C-alpha cells in the first residue's frame, strides 16, 4: 500500500527536520513550517517596496497594500498586474503615468517588516449603528481560529477575518499581521465586497497601523485575541472605532466605544 502524501496549502514549507524534547527524551521530527519570502512590488517599472510575507493570496496582498497606502483609490486604477511567486515580485502598471515614489517611509511594528508611506493617512470618523454582543464576538473568534488553515497546520501564522453578522466573509493569513488586513482588503476589492459596517477579527496585537487600516476600510469594530497598543487605543477613540482585546474563552476587554457591545 502506498503511503498517503499530505498535500499542503500554499504558504507552508513541508519536511523541515527538527528535534523535540519531551519528558526527558529526544525525538526526531519532520515538521511543516510557514513560508516566508521577500516579495518586491514594482509600480510603472519603479521599485516601490519589498514585503516579507507568506506566499498566499499575493494578488490580494498587493491590491490591498496599494489601496491602504493611497496609491490607488479603485481597482480600476490598475491597468495591468503580473504577480510571479517564483520571481517573488509583482509588476503593476497604473492608468496614470505621473506616478512618483513616495518620499516618506515609516517602518511599522509589523512582524513581517511592514512599510507605510504615510502613517497620517486616516479616514473620517466612523459613524455606524452596528451593535454586537460579547458572546457573538467570542463565538466568531472561535470560528476564525477553527478555519485558520495555515496556522492549524504549522503555527507561527497570523489570521484575520472580515465578518458580517455571524458569517466569516474573507480570511487572510500571513506571517505579518498587517499583511493579513491587506489581503482581506485586496480580496474584497477583487470580489466587490464592501468592508463598511463589518467586524474585523485578528489573532495579532492591534497597533496603530492595524487601526489605520481598519479605519480606511470603514470598519467600526475590531477584536483581537491579544492586546492593543496605547496609540491604537487613542486612534480608536478619535475615529469612533470599538477596539476589543483579549477576546478568548469567555472573556474580552473593550478599550474604546463600548456602547456597540450592548454595554
Dump pLDDT digits (tens) for 14-41: 878 888 888 999 999 888 889 999 999 9
Question: How many alpha carbons fall within 13 Å on the CB side of residue 229?
Answer: 15
Distance between CA atoms of residues 137 and 251, nearest Å: 10
* Mean pLDDT to the nearest integer, 153-162: 93
**pLDDT tens readout for residues 76-129:** 999 999 999 999 999 999 998 888 888 755 555 455 555 555 545 556 789 999
Amino acid 21: pLDDT: 87
Amino acid 106: pLDDT: 54
Look at the block and give the residue holding cell 509583482. 90
228 with 206: CB under 8 angstroms? yes
Look at the block and give the residue holding cell 493611497. 70
3-state secondary structure of 231: helix
Percentage of the chain beyond pLDDT 70 is 89
Q: Which three cell numbers stand for residue 25?
A: 527524551
Decide if pLDDT at 156 tops 80.
yes
Q: How far is CA 78 from CA 44, 51, 55, 101, 217, in A?
A: 10, 20, 21, 16, 19
**pLDDT tens readout for residues 195-206:** 999 999 999 999
134-261: CATH number? 3.40.140.10
Strands (E), the chain: 12-22, 25-34, 37-43, 46-53, 78-84, 89-94, 106-107, 115-116, 158-164, 167-174, 199-202, 221-224, 242-248, 251-256
Decide if pLDDT at 2 tops 70.
no
Amino acid 111: pLDDT: 52
Residues carrying an active site annotation: 111
Distance between CA atoms of residues 64 and 87, nearest Å: 20
Distance between CA atoms of residues 203 and 200, nearest Å: 10
Among 157, 130, 156, which residue's Cα sits nearest to residue 222? 130
Q: Facing residues of 224 across strands? A: 202
Distance between CA atoms of residues 75 and 16, nearest Å: 39
Among 38, 41, 36, 30, which residue's Cα sits nearest to residue 11? 36
- List the chain domain ranges: 134-261
Distance between CA atoms of residues 62 and 80, nearest Å: 12
Per the prediction, the chain carries an average pLDDT of 89
Amino acid at each position: 500500500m502506498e503511503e498517503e502524501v499530505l498535500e499542503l496549502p500554499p504558504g507552508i514549507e513541508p519536511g523541515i527536520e527538527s528535534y523535540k524534547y519531551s519528558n526527558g527524551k529526544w525525538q526526531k521530527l519532520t515538521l511543516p513550517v510557514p513560508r516566508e519570502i521577500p516579495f518586491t512590488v514594482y509600480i510603472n517599472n519603479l521599485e516601490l517596496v519589498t514585503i516579507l510575507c507568506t506566499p498566499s493570496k499575493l494578488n490580494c496582498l498587493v491590491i490591498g497594500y496599494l489601496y491602504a497606502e493611497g496609491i490607488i483609490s479603485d481597482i480600476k486604477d490598475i491597468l495591468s498586474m503580473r504577480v510571479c511567486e517564483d520571481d517573488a515580485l509583482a509588476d503593476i502598471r497604473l492608468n496614470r503615468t505621473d506616478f512618483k515614489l513616495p518620499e516618506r517611509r515609516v517602518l511599522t511594528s509589523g512582524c513581517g517588516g511592514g512599510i507605510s508611506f504615510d502613517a497620517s493617512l486616516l479616514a473620517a470618523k466612523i459613524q455606524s449603528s452596528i451593535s454586537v454582543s460579547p458572546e457573538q464576538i467570542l463565538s466568531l473568534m472561535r470560528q476564525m481560529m477553527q478555519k485558520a488553515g495555515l496556522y492549524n497546520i504549522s503555527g507561527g501564522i497570523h489570521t484575520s477575518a472580515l465578518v458580517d453578522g455571524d458569517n466569516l466573509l474573507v480570511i487572510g493569513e500571513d506571517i505579518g499581521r498587517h499583511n493579513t488586513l491587506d489581503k482581506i482588503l485586496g480580496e474584497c476589492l477583487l470580489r466587490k465586497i464592501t468592508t463598511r459596517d463589518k467586524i474585523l477579527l485578528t489573532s495579532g496585537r492591534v497597533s496603530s497601523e492595524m487601526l489605520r487600516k481598519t479605519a480606511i476600510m470603514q470598519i467600526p469594530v475590531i477584536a483581537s485575541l491579544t492586546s492593543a497598543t496605547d496609540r491604537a487605543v487613542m486612534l480608536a477613540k478619535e475615529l469612533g472605532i470599538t477596539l476589543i482585546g483579549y477576546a478568548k474563552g469567555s472573556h474580552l476587554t473593550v478599550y474604546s466605544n463600548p456602547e456597540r457591545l450592548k454595554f
